[in-house]
Amino acid sequence: MRHHLILRVITKLLIGSIMLFALYVQFHGDYSPGGGFQAGVIMAVAFIIYGVVFSLDEAQRVLPPWVVHKMAALGVLIYAATGVYSLFVGYGFLDYTALSPDYPEKGQHYGILLVELGVGVTVTGVMVTIYYAFTSRTPIMDDEAW
Protein backbone atom coordinates (compact mmCIF):
# COMPACT_ATOMS: atom_id res chain seq x y z
CA MET A 1 0.00 0.00 0.00
CA ARG A 2 3.01 2.31 -0.14
CA HIS A 3 2.22 3.72 -3.56
CA HIS A 4 -0.87 5.74 -2.61
CA LEU A 5 1.10 8.45 -0.83
CA ILE A 6 -1.06 11.44 -1.83
CA LEU A 7 -4.24 9.53 -1.06
CA ARG A 8 -3.01 8.65 2.40
CA VAL A 9 -1.91 12.17 3.33
CA ILE A 10 -5.11 13.77 2.04
CA THR A 11 -7.20 11.20 3.87
CA LYS A 12 -5.45 11.93 7.13
CA LEU A 13 -6.16 15.63 6.63
CA LEU A 14 -9.77 15.04 5.67
CA ILE A 15 -10.81 12.65 8.42
CA GLY A 16 -10.52 15.30 11.11
CA SER A 17 -12.74 17.73 9.27
CA ILE A 18 -15.23 15.01 8.34
CA MET A 19 -15.63 14.08 12.00
CA LEU A 20 -15.92 17.72 13.02
CA PHE A 21 -18.56 18.23 10.35
CA ALA A 22 -20.42 15.17 11.62
CA LEU A 23 -20.48 16.59 15.15
CA TYR A 24 -21.63 19.98 13.82
CA VAL A 25 -24.44 18.33 11.88
CA GLN A 26 -25.34 16.29 14.94
CA PHE A 27 -25.61 19.10 17.47
CA HIS A 28 -26.61 21.91 15.16
CA GLY A 29 -29.42 19.85 13.68
CA ASP A 30 -32.12 21.98 15.32
CA TYR A 31 -30.92 25.13 13.58
CA SER A 32 -29.73 24.03 10.17
CA PRO A 33 -30.35 21.03 7.95
CA GLY A 34 -29.08 17.91 9.59
CA GLY A 35 -29.69 15.66 12.52
CA GLY A 36 -28.88 12.29 13.90
CA PHE A 37 -29.35 10.27 10.72
CA GLN A 38 -27.06 12.41 8.58
CA ALA A 39 -24.49 12.88 11.32
CA GLY A 40 -24.36 9.15 11.93
CA VAL A 41 -23.78 8.45 8.26
CA ILE A 42 -21.06 11.11 7.96
CA MET A 43 -19.31 9.86 11.09
CA ALA A 44 -19.41 6.34 9.73
CA VAL A 45 -17.97 7.56 6.43
CA ALA A 46 -14.95 8.93 8.32
CA PHE A 47 -14.16 5.46 9.66
CA ILE A 48 -14.96 3.76 6.38
CA ILE A 49 -12.58 6.07 4.48
CA TYR A 50 -9.88 5.24 6.98
CA GLY A 51 -10.55 1.55 6.46
CA VAL A 52 -10.56 1.84 2.66
CA VAL A 53 -7.37 3.87 2.31
CA PHE A 54 -5.32 2.26 5.04
CA SER A 55 -6.52 -1.21 5.89
CA LEU A 56 -9.27 -2.92 7.76
CA ASP A 57 -6.89 -3.89 10.56
CA GLU A 58 -5.83 -0.28 11.05
CA ALA A 59 -9.45 0.85 11.22
CA GLN A 60 -10.32 -1.93 13.63
CA ARG A 61 -7.43 -0.95 15.84
CA VAL A 62 -8.91 2.54 16.14
CA LEU A 63 -12.48 1.32 16.55
CA PRO A 64 -12.64 -2.36 17.53
CA PRO A 65 -15.71 -4.29 16.30
CA TRP A 66 -17.03 -4.96 19.79
CA VAL A 67 -17.15 -1.19 20.46
CA VAL A 68 -19.11 -0.69 17.25
CA HIS A 69 -21.59 -3.41 18.16
CA LYS A 70 -22.12 -1.87 21.59
CA MET A 71 -22.58 1.55 19.94
CA ALA A 72 -25.39 0.29 17.73
CA ALA A 73 -27.26 -1.02 20.76
CA LEU A 74 -26.42 1.97 22.95
CA GLY A 75 -28.06 4.43 20.58
CA VAL A 76 -31.42 2.68 20.66
CA LEU A 77 -31.07 2.46 24.44
CA ILE A 78 -30.44 6.22 24.76
CA TYR A 79 -33.53 6.87 22.67
CA ALA A 80 -35.75 4.48 24.59
CA ALA A 81 -34.35 5.58 27.94
CA THR A 82 -35.35 9.17 27.18
CA GLY A 83 -38.89 7.95 26.69
CA VAL A 84 -38.88 5.75 29.77
CA TYR A 85 -37.44 8.57 31.87
CA SER A 86 -40.32 10.84 30.94
CA LEU A 87 -42.69 8.00 31.86
CA PHE A 88 -41.16 7.73 35.33
CA VAL A 89 -41.34 11.46 35.95
CA GLY A 90 -45.03 11.36 35.24
CA TYR A 91 -45.47 12.43 31.63
CA GLY A 92 -46.25 10.50 28.49
CA PHE A 93 -43.69 8.33 26.71
CA LEU A 94 -41.23 10.62 24.88
CA ASP A 95 -42.93 13.75 26.23
CA TYR A 96 -39.92 16.02 26.49
CA THR A 97 -41.62 18.44 28.86
CA ALA A 98 -40.49 15.99 31.53
CA LEU A 99 -36.86 17.00 31.04
CA SER A 100 -37.51 20.56 32.14
CA PRO A 101 -41.05 20.91 33.53
CA ASP A 102 -40.79 24.65 34.19
CA TYR A 103 -39.71 25.55 30.68
CA PRO A 104 -41.37 23.19 28.22
CA GLU A 105 -39.45 24.70 25.29
CA LYS A 106 -36.11 23.96 26.91
CA GLY A 107 -37.30 20.45 27.66
CA GLN A 108 -38.09 20.02 23.98
CA HIS A 109 -34.58 21.20 23.10
CA TYR A 110 -32.94 18.75 25.50
CA GLY A 111 -35.20 15.96 24.37
CA ILE A 112 -34.49 16.50 20.71
CA LEU A 113 -30.76 16.67 21.37
CA LEU A 114 -30.79 13.44 23.36
CA VAL A 115 -32.93 11.57 20.89
CA GLU A 116 -30.87 12.75 17.93
CA LEU A 117 -27.74 11.66 19.79
CA GLY A 118 -29.25 8.21 20.16
CA VAL A 119 -30.12 8.06 16.47
CA GLY A 120 -26.65 9.25 15.50
CA VAL A 121 -24.86 6.70 17.65
CA THR A 122 -26.99 3.85 16.32
CA VAL A 123 -26.58 4.83 12.69
CA THR A 124 -22.82 5.19 13.06
CA GLY A 125 -22.60 1.85 14.81
CA VAL A 126 -24.72 0.00 12.28
CA MET A 127 -23.03 1.49 9.20
CA VAL A 128 -19.54 0.71 10.49
CA THR A 129 -20.69 -2.76 11.54
CA ILE A 130 -21.99 -3.44 8.05
CA TYR A 131 -18.76 -2.16 6.52
CA TYR A 132 -16.68 -4.38 8.80
CA ALA A 133 -18.86 -7.37 8.06
CA PHE A 134 -18.46 -6.95 4.30
CA THR A 135 -14.75 -6.26 4.24
CA SER A 136 -13.68 -8.83 6.81
CA ARG A 137 -14.54 -11.58 4.34
CA THR A 138 -11.64 -12.59 2.12
CA PRO A 139 -12.34 -11.34 -1.39
CA ILE A 140 -12.25 -13.95 -4.14
CA MET A 141 -10.41 -11.70 -6.54
CA ASP A 142 -7.27 -9.70 -6.00
CA ASP A 143 -6.74 -6.00 -6.63
CA GLU A 144 -5.35 -6.61 -10.11
CA ALA A 145 -8.64 -8.05 -11.35
CA TRP A 146 -10.27 -4.63 -11.23
Partner 1 sequence: MLVATALAVVRTQSLFATAMLSGVFSLLSALLLVVLDAVDVAFTEAAVGAGISTVLMLGTLALTRRFESAPSHSPAIPLFVVLVTGATLIYGTLDMPNFGSATAPAQVHVAPEYLERSVHEIGVPNIVTAILASYRGFDTLGETAVVFTAGIGVLLLLSGLRRRRRNKREDV
Partner 2 sequence: MQAIDWEFVVGHINYWLFIVLMMTGFYIVVAKGNLVKKIVGLNIFQTAVFMLYISIGKVTGGTAPIFPLDMNVDPAVVYSNPLPHVLILTAIVVGIATTSLGLALIVRIREEYGTIEEDEILKIEKEMALQDVRQHSEVIGERG
- Residues 11-70 binding partner 2 (CB under 8 A) are 31-33, 35, 37, 40-41
Nearest-10 Cα torsion for 106, 71, 13, 139: -150
DSSP 138: P
> What is the C-alpha R_g of the chain?
19
Kindly state the smallest distance separating residue 44's Cβ from partner 2, in Å. 10
Using CA atoms, how far residue 112 sits from 23, 51, 69, 106, in Å, is 15, 32, 24, 10
- Residues 22-61 binding partner 1 (CB under 8 A) are 25, 29-38, 41-42, 44-45, 48, 52
Alpha carbon distance 93, 143 (integer Å): 52
Q: Report if residue 19 touches partner 1, rule: CB under 8 A.
A: no
Kindly state the smallest distance separating residue 1's Cβ from partner 1, in Å. 16
Q: Which residues contact 5 (CB under 8 A, 6 or more apart)?
A: none
Q: Report if residue 70 touches partner 1, rule: CB under 8 A.
A: no
Alpha helices in the chain (DSSP H): 5-27, 36-53, 56-62, 65-89, 104-135
Positions touching partner 1 (CB under 8 A) are 25, 29-38, 41-42, 44-45, 48, 52, 69, 72-73, 75-76, 79-80, 83, 93-94, 96, 104-105, 108-109, 111-112, 115-116, 118-119, 122-123, 125-127, 129-131, 133-137, 139-141, 145-146
Positions touching partner 2 (CB under 8 A) are 31-33, 35, 37, 40-41, 123, 126-127, 130, 133-134, 137
